[in-house]
Homo-oligomer: A and B are copies of this chain.
Amino acid sequence: MERLERKKREFNMRRAEILKQAEKVFATKGFHNVTVAEIANASGFSIGSLYQFFEGKENLYTTMISEKLDLMYADIRKATNAAKNITGKIEALIDAHLQFIEKNTDFCRLFIKGENAALSEVMTSLRQKIIDDYFKHINFIENLLKDGIKKGLLRALPPHEMASALFHLIRASSMEWMLVPAKESLRSKKGFILDIFLNGVKKYD
């Protein structure tokens, strides 16, 4: 009987729809300023129905963040791997990251707003996941840079620290862009980030 299959498919469609609407609402108003009723409304379900799909408000929120974050890292890695040489890969990494932030500004602002405060067990495990993903990503960058060192293109500095530096240089430009009423595109910062990461600020090396 394929009835069950269909049911499951429909269940997942509905779940996805709720998640999509929840992202919209949470992204603009943050976790605390959103009520379950609001999400129910936005997604066209009743309050009670949401509890069929998610254990509760926090679970809904953390699932949303978690899945979106996975998407972001997947994007960045895919773009990075597609480039051929080291410099191209670093450039692609920066560009994909900036592009994601540009396309998902409200979502990303949740993080600078500190909307993932750990008030419960659920939120704590989200924070841990975010941290774990962060270190996984740093590790990915690290491997890139190690390759560059081996090939004699990059200085033999501690790779983990280098990777972290690059990530946070990207973060620096992104944060400022999210905080101020953006004049130009975020992606236009790519050149600066690459330049300062590769060459530093000192004159005449």
Q: Which residues in A have some Cβ–Cβ distance to B below 8 Å?
A: 30-33, 111, 113-119, 127, 131, 145, 148, 152-155, 157-158, 161-162, 164-165, 167-169, 171-173, 175-176, 179, 189, 192, 195-203, 205
Q: Kindly list chain B residues whose C-beta atoms are within 8 Å of the C-beta of A33.
A: 119
Residues of B within 8 Å of A199, CB to CB, are 155, 199-200, 202, 205
A189 to B165 CA separation, bound complex (whole angstroms): 12
8 A-B pairs within 8 Å (CB atoms) are namely A32-B117, A113-B114, A145-B201, A157-B195, A158-B192, A168-B169, A168-B172, A199-B205
Chain B residues lying within 8 Å of A32, measured Cβ to Cβ, are 117-119
A164 touches B158 (CB 8 A): no
User: Would you call B197 and A162 a contact (CB within 8 A)?
Assistant: no
Question: Which B residues lie within 8 Å of A127 (CB)?
Answer: 113-114
> In the complex, are the beta carbons of B153 and A203 less than 8 A apart?
yes
> CB within 8 A of A154: which of B158, B176, B202?
B202
Given contacts A114-B117, A198-B200, A201-B197, contact A172 B165 (CB under 8 A): yes
Task: Check B200–A161 contact: CB distance below 8 A.
Answer: no
A196 touches B200 (CB 8 A): yes
Residues A192 and B145 in contact, CB atoms below 8 Å apart: no
Pairwise interchain contact B113-A115, C-beta atoms closer than 8 A: no
Q: Which residues of B contact A198 (CB under 8 A)?
A: 200-202
Q: What distance in Å separates the Cβ of A67 from its nearest Cβ neighbour in chain B?
A: 19
A122 → B minimal CB distance (Å): 13
Q: A115's closest neighbor in chain B, by CB?
A: B117
Shortest A30–chain B CB gap in Å is 7
Closest to A131 in B: B179
Q: Which residues of chain B come closer than 8 Å to A176, judged between CB atoms?
A: 164
Chain B residues near A116: list those with CB within 8 A.
Answer: 114
Tell me which residues across on chain B come within 8 A of A153, comparing CB atoms.
202-203
